[in-house]
A and B are shown apart, each in its own frame.
Chain A
Amino acid sequence: MSGINYTMIPLFVALPLTVSFLIMLLGNRVRWISDMLCTVVALALCLLSFYAVGVASGSGPLVYRMGGWLPPAGICLVLDSLSVFMLVIVNVITLIVTIYAINYMEQYTAKSKFYALFLLMLAGMNGVIVTGDMFNLFVFLEIGSIASYGLVAFGTEEEELEASFKYMIMGSIAGLFILLGIGLLYSYTSTLNMADMALVVSEKSGSKLIGFVSVLFLVGFGLKGALFPFHWWLPDAHPSAPAPISAMLSGLLIKALGVYALIRVFFSVLGATAFLPVAMVLGTMSMVIGVFLAVGQWDFKRLLAYHSISQVGYIMLGIGLGTPLGILGGLFHLFNHSMFKSLLFLNSGAVDYATGSRNLKELGGLRERMPVSASTSMVASMSIAGLPPFNGFWSKLIIIIACVDAGHPVYAAWAVVASIMTLASFMKVQKYVFFGELKEKFNAIKEVPFAMQFSMVFLAAICFLGGLLLVPAVSGDFLQSAADTVANGTEYAKMVFQSLQ
């Protein structure tokens, strides 16, 4: 039961935690060490997550017994295809954002504290993804959230503190809903292990409690994931953070803590099909309302934040269809959105770094002075708007086809409308920031440093090539098997107990 394949599973949580505290200890004393340690650990985790793809596809889910205790008594970590899929997304983006932050965070003091919180947030996200225990999920959720409250307020200006406070209140309320749900579920099933819980729930069918718990989880995880009626903290919180953190929050945190946890709990544990139509309706509403709110924004990052709400709507619409194609589309859009939304936030950070402004009305003509940022943001804009051949096109196409296929043409129509509005609002971004006349006061600006350019170009390449994930030879072990894991629902429990024997 040991060996590298198993031992790597707790490392996804333990490594960032260890390095985070090491940075707290050493970061103030040695200047370069926090940059170096954070980059090294991000690179190591990125490679480990790639290695995990091969491992998980070979032999079904791997179950790691923490401390050697056998589940359901002990806590276990489960590495199945869905977890691996999320781990790759999280750790790739983290690596790129870390490289970007080396230069970007020079503007702030206390860079080592930034890295410590950053790694704590990463540990929280990885923990939520690999855990197989319900209460453990809550603990990691709070680790990730609390680190992100600190990071949103990192600039400690009045506006940032206000956004962070609002975010903290909403996050705590979400945490309370989730904790109450877990408590009720624990009293109902007498177990906290997810696989065991799934077995007990499927045996004791017909209780009204499951419906109540589902609502609690929908509100809790919906708040974390900024689904429509619970979305309004996001446009304040995400733009207030430093750009690398905005990229992490919008690209990863709302997905790992919100969407992934929602999928895991509803599909793998509760097996609740009644939730699917609700997810579709809420998804469509956030998709449309998010994008309509976004079009009118003049703050670059705030506009992007509203688009996060809209794109999470696409993901939930795809997942909510419940058909294999819909789930595939939803997960694929999750991957794509992580890539292009992180890239867009990094672009906005580059513009902010060079000009000191995020107001669309003040900017203009930056294409001449910042060719790399302009081209990469063009790629990202076309991806998010769903223009072929970029990755966003393929996932939106699959979601729309899946809607029509499942007999919901109205939802498909709304998805098209939201996509056209997305295109409109990103044409606005391109026109006001990168095209048009260069203002005189920006004559002296320069392109951002190399590390920042490198991360943006890397993400743009993924946006360009992302469509290749649909090719069966590429996606078989990665995207397709993750979608199968979700579609199989409570088969999860059987697979976990099988691999324990």
Chain B
Amino acid sequence: MNKEPGMTVIVKTVTRLTVGIILMYGIYIVMHGHLSPGGGFAGGVIIALSFVHLMLAYGKEVAFKKLSMPVASVLESMGAILFISVAFLGLVGGYFFFHTLGKGEPFSLLSAYMVLFSNIAISLKVGCGLFLVLITIALAGKEIKK
């Protein structure tokens, strides 16, 4: 029997192959938020799920090595601060949330910077927040079982 934490070797192998792709896909969704469907929230959820996937297959210690709880907490706050900084940046153009950093162009990744930065900020907030919520539920469940 397998004494080490996590699931069977089949799940671990599949996870090893797919987890990076899931993370990349999440980042893709975030970065193309202003061009295609998706955006910060959806991408953030996918990013969080890639870490949760790791936690389910290998146990939480391995997941914490990649993204520990204090780091996730800091990143989450940074996401919120980045988002509100983008909003404050709009004051340069005269209004809160005003679109200042250039207009968007179709099919061009590096355009509409305000939307891009907002998406990145939201993905940090949502991704780390969801990861922390799921971790907290998992840890709390363990404590109750004991």
Q: Which residues of A line the B interface, CB within 8 A?
A: 1-2, 7, 10, 14, 17-18, 21-22, 24-25, 64-68
B78: which A residues are within 8 A, CB to CB? 25
| B84 CB → nearest A CB, Å | 5
B34: which A residues are within 8 A, CB to CB? none
A7: which B residues are within 8 A, CB to CB? 91, 96
A158 and B84 CA atoms in complex are apart in Å by 36
A67: which B residues are within 8 A, CB to CB? 90, 95-99
Find out whether the CB atom of B77 lies under 8 angstroms from the CB atom of A24: yes
| A118 CB → nearest B CB, Å | 16
Find out whether the CB atom of A25 lies under 8 angstroms from the CB atom of B95: no
Which residues 63-100 in B have Cβ within 8 Å of A in the complex?
Answer: 73-74, 76-78, 80-81, 84, 87-88, 90-91, 93-99
Closest to B80 in A: A21
A25 and B81 CA atoms in complex are apart in Å by 9
Known: A14-B87, A14-B88, A25-B74. A66 touches B96 (CB 8 A): yes
Q: What are the interface flags for B96-140 relative to A under an 8 Å C-beta threshold, 1 for contact and 0 otherwise?
A: 111100000000000000000000000000000000000000000
Closest to A77 in B: B96
Find out whether the CB atom of A2 lies under 8 angstroms from the CB atom of B77: no
Chain A interface secondary structure, helix, strand, loop or mixed? helix
A2: which B residues are within 8 A, CB to CB? 94-95
B73: which A residues are within 8 A, CB to CB? 24
B99: which A residues are within 8 A, CB to CB? 67-68
Find out whether the CB atom of B77 lies under 8 angstroms from the CB atom of A21: yes
A65: which B residues are within 8 A, CB to CB? 95
Find out whether the CB atom of A21 lies under 8 angstroms from the CB atom of B81: yes
A7 and B93 CA atoms in complex are apart in Å by 12
A1: which B residues are within 8 A, CB to CB? 94
A64 and B94 CA atoms in complex are apart in Å by 11
Known: A7-B91, A24-B77, A25-B77. A18 touches B84 (CB 8 A): yes
Most buried by A among B78, B84, B96: B96
Partner of B95, one of A17, A24, A68: A68
| A44 CB → nearest B CB, Å | 15
Find out whether the CB atom of A66 lies under 8 angstroms from the CB atom of B88: no
B87: which A residues are within 8 A, CB to CB? 14
| A45 CB → nearest B CB, Å | 16
Question: Which are the 7 A-B pairs with shortest beta-carbon distances?
Answer: A67-B97, A10-B96, A25-B77, A21-B80, A68-B95, A24-B77, A2-B94
A454 and B51 CA atoms in complex are apart in Å by 50
| A232 CB → nearest B CB, Å | 29
| B14 CB → nearest A CB, Å | 36
Interface size on B, residues (CB 8 A): 19
B88: which A residues are within 8 A, CB to CB? 14, 18
- What are 13 A-to-B residue pairs whose CB atoms are below 8 Å? A7-B91, A7-B96, A14-B87, A18-B84, A21-B77, A22-B81, A25-B74, A65-B95, A66-B95, A67-B90, A68-B94, A68-B95, A68-B99
Find out whether the CB atom of B84 lies under 8 angstroms from the CB atom of A21: yes
| A116 CB → nearest B CB, Å | 9
| B108 CB → nearest A CB, Å | 22
Most buried by B among A1, A17, A64: A17
Closest to B85 in A: A18
Closest to B90 in A: A67
Closest to B94 in A: A2
A2 and B87 CA atoms in complex are apart in Å by 15
Which residues 28-87 in B have Cβ within 8 Å of A in the complex?
Answer: 73-74, 76-78, 80-81, 84, 87
A158 and B98 CA atoms in complex are apart in Å by 46
B91: which A residues are within 8 A, CB to CB? 7
A24: which B residues are within 8 A, CB to CB? 73, 76-77, 80
B76: which A residues are within 8 A, CB to CB? 24
A68: which B residues are within 8 A, CB to CB? 93-95, 98-99
Partner of A17, one of B74, B84, B90: B84
A14: which B residues are within 8 A, CB to CB? 84, 87-88, 96
A64: which B residues are within 8 A, CB to CB? 95-96
Q: What 15 additional pairs, Cβ within 8 angstroms, besides A21-B77, A24-B77, A66-B96? A: A2-B95, A7-B91, A10-B96, A14-B87, A14-B88, A14-B96, A17-B80, A18-B88, A21-B81, A24-B73, A25-B81, A66-B97, A67-B95, A67-B98, A68-B95
| A233 CB → nearest B CB, Å | 25
Most buried by A among B74, B90, B95: B95
Closest to B78 in A: A25
Closest to A65 in B: B95
| B104 CB → nearest A CB, Å | 14
A66 and B81 CA atoms in complex are apart in Å by 19
Known: A25-B74, A67-B90. A18 touches B95 (CB 8 A): no
A22 and B88 CA atoms in complex are apart in Å by 15
| A305 CB → nearest B CB, Å | 30
Closest to A9 in B: B96
B94: which A residues are within 8 A, CB to CB? 1-2, 68
A67 and B78 CA atoms in complex are apart in Å by 22
| A48 CB → nearest B CB, Å | 14
| A147 CB → nearest B CB, Å | 14
Closest to A29 in B: B74
| B123 CB → nearest A CB, Å | 16
| A67 CB → nearest B CB, Å | 4
